[in-house]
Structure 1
Amino acid sequence: MLKKITLIILGLLICLVIWQWELVSYGWMQAKGQIRILWNTKPVTEVLSDPVYPDSLKQKIKLIQEIKRFAIDSLGLDKSGSYESFYDQQEKPILWVVTAAQPYQLVARQWNFPIIGTFSYKGFFEKDRADSTVTDLQREGLDTRIGEVSAWSTLGFLNDPILSSFLNRPEGSLAELIIHELTHGTLFVKNSLEYNENLADFVGEYGTLQFLAQKYGTNSIPYRDYLATKVFYDNYDEHILRGTRMLDSLYRTFKPTTQTVIKDSLKWQTIRQIVESSDTISDQRSSIRVRKIKKRPLGKLNLPNNAYFIGYLTYRKQQNQFRQEFKNRFGGDFNRYLTYLKQTYPSF
């Protein structure tokens, strides 16, 4: 009887693997990538006491520890075991993210995952697997984008390490990154990726300004540099979001009978206009490492596509909503606002 039950269970598992092979294969790849990283991390205490590591690296690690303490003690983010270990990437990228969108609609391809819900992007620890996915999506006629990722959060399921690439960032950018990811571990609403990323961006930026002001002062170079960078990118983000509204309005004029050649011509003409007009945005400091659209000959192959604009909708569309709610309803009291968000939007 036991043997029969075992065979039935085994048969069901085999059927499940066959039925959900893509998901199982993807999950195995993700697990391997995470395990490889976690297996090769070193405790921060060990790195700090090792004379092999330069003082400049150790100072950045100590700064991350300060940022984390501030995020927990002053901002009220949840306690976390993350950023207590160190992983040396050896100057190699370790994660790529693929996004895709309809060619004549600002509608993202969605991927569904157990427990964590629906995402409009897919991460890969293997570059060839990411490239293969992009090829498959392009065969479906979708606009695609692939990019390296500097950090990610396991949402509290694992203790995320400090990556060596973190340490190349200036103080403000580093603080924003750490606070952003710790926010994901504090509040992450299932099937609400746009909400989650916009919230983490809002908390990351607000928390960074508070941290820099407390540690260095508002007249310090780290504070003024970060604020200038933030102002620049706020303006750039708004420019791109205006561009998404232009594209959305254009796509809504397309009819089923509109020829593809006409749709393509109007689409790329509008995108080219968005790119060229981005030059009007002023930069208050020359040292900003601009993430703007790179200036190349503006042929179709060098222009961003709908997948690029979808990224801005995912991360930046709701910024003003959070800022206004924080200021108008909660009078700038962040701890009260965070308590409200936790109670209103339960995290898994």
Structure 2
Amino acid sequence: MRRAARIAAILAASSLLIGALALGALCLGAGCSSVGYYAQSVRGHLDLVQRARPVAELVADEATPAALRERLALAQRLRRFAVDELQLPDTRSYRRYADLRRPAAVWNVVAAPELSLQLKTWCFAVVGCVGYRGYYDRAAADAMARQLREQGWEVLVYPVPAYSTLGKLEWLGGDPLLSTFVGWPEGELARLLFHELAHHVVYVDDDTAFNESFATAVERIGGARWLERHAGDAARAEYAALDARRRQFRALTLAARRELEAVYASDRPDDAKRAAKAELFARLRADHERLKRDAWGGFAGYDAWFARANNAALGVQAAYTEFAPAFERLFERSGGDFARFYAEVRRLADLPKAERHATLRAIP
């Protein structure tokens, strides 16, 4: 994914590091089949942590490039805004910086059946079930993707610029700023940091849609406030262009997702469903080309997504945005008060999953 699309993928991959660090040794003793996966998670995160240096030290170092120094300073202003004005937790995260020397923090693997948008899930101790597997090594992610395709799944491998350890690894210094996203446009960097810190407020096992939609709502609300109150005209204009394309992209893919869901839920024979699916994806790609030509001035940032579009690609989008509008309405009903809003979100988190989702859907 290019810069404008990757923001939809924030948080992903290695939240299961939390469980891996605690349970990796136990799995070794018990012959756990996931031990290799846990091991790569532990190694990958520890490598990331070991690369990190305090931001204050880098800013004071004359050898630090001026452009990086400016971005690190911006990130610290954003972090302070998140605490002071969005009332997000004042943790140790994002006070250090790591140059990963690779294009992504991790690569996520997601999979869906041929005639469904329901993502395959993997379950792990401590963090519950999630609809992805995250890998620090691209080759390992591709190997898992090949295995899944051989089993008949539709698969997507995509880069993730950042992930959250949910405030559980503060003893390791929390989550650092990374070279994979620190250079993003100001509005995009703001949204990413606010999204990640929102996961420190509440996280529910086995409910990706709830967790990601909540964080997406916080990033939208917080990002808009930052741009309005603290950004310059150039940053606001840059963000407006990025966000306009993002909204059009989401509208286009949401319509396709809804149409596909109806096809898959129908009583048509499977061959008829396959034919309708092929027609819909062909139309989706044609609609993108028209949008790219007529409204985006040839902007190619979404080309890779449409080239690889499949059930898995549409399924993972739903996980990040399904309930975001409901959370935004809940924020308005809370009088724009973040403390009241977060208290309501925690109350929802305590409900059984079905009741939690029904309550969100019923918010006017």
Deviation at 1:61, TM superposition (A): 0.4
Please point out which of 252, 267, 270 is paired with 1:239: 252
For 1:170, the equivalent position in structure 2 comes to 185
TM-score (norm 2): 0.81
Deviation at 1:14, TM superposition (A): 7.8
Higher RCO (CA 8 Å, separation ≥ 6 residues)? 2
Contact 2:209 / 2:318 at 8 angstroms: preserved in 1? Answer: yes
Contact 2:28 / 2:35 at 8 angstroms: preserved in 1? Answer: no
Contact 1:275 / 1:293 at 8 angstroms: preserved in 2? Answer: no
For 1:63, the equivalent position in structure 2 comes to 74
Is 2:126 the partner of 1:115?
yes
For 2:278, the equivalent position in structure 1 comes to 268
For 1:230, the equivalent position in structure 2 comes to 243
For 2:343, the equivalent position in structure 1 comes to 339
User: Rg larger in 1 or in 2?
Assistant: 1
CA distance in 2, matches of 1:206, 1:85: 25
Please point out which of 186, 194, 197 is paired with 1:182: 197
3-state secondary structure, aligned to 1:123: strand
Gaps of 5+ in 1: 1-11, 296-301
Gaps of 5+ in 2: 1-24, 352-364
Contact 1:89 / 1:163 at 8 angstroms: preserved in 2? Answer: yes
Contact 2:119 / 2:316 at 8 angstroms: preserved in 1? Answer: no
Identity of aligned residues (%): 27
For 1:311, the equivalent position in structure 2 comes to 316
- Partner deviation per Cα, 1:1-46 (whole Å, 9 max, x = no partner): xxxxxxxxxxx9689632x22x222111100001111112111122
Contact 1:176 / 1:204 at 8 angstroms: preserved in 2? Answer: yes
Deviation at 1:123, TM superposition (A): 0.4
- Partner deviation per Cα, 1:236-292 (whole Å, 9 max, x = no partner): 21221111111111112355x644xx5433211111112222345488776977336
- After superposition, residues 183-262 of structure 1 pair within 5 angstroms as 183-216=198-231, 220-253=233-266, 258-259=270-271, 262=272
Deviation at 1:323, TM superposition (A): 2.3
Question: Structure 1 pair 102/73, CA: closer, same or farther in 2 (3 Å)?
Answer: same
CA distance in 1, matches of 2:299, 2:57: 34
Question: Structure 1 pair 289/52, CA: closer, same or farther in 2 (3 Å)?
Answer: farther
- The letter of the residue matching 1:233 is R
CA distance in 1, matches of 2:342, 2:90: 14
For 1:7, the equivalent position in structure 2 comes to none
- The letter of the residue matching 1:310 is G
- Partner deviation per Cα, 1:277-316 (whole Å, 9 max, x = no partner): 2345488776977336556xxxxxx451100000111112
CA distance in 2, matches of 1:165, 1:303: 22
- After superposition, residues 134-145 of structure 1 pair within 5 angstroms as 134-145=145-156
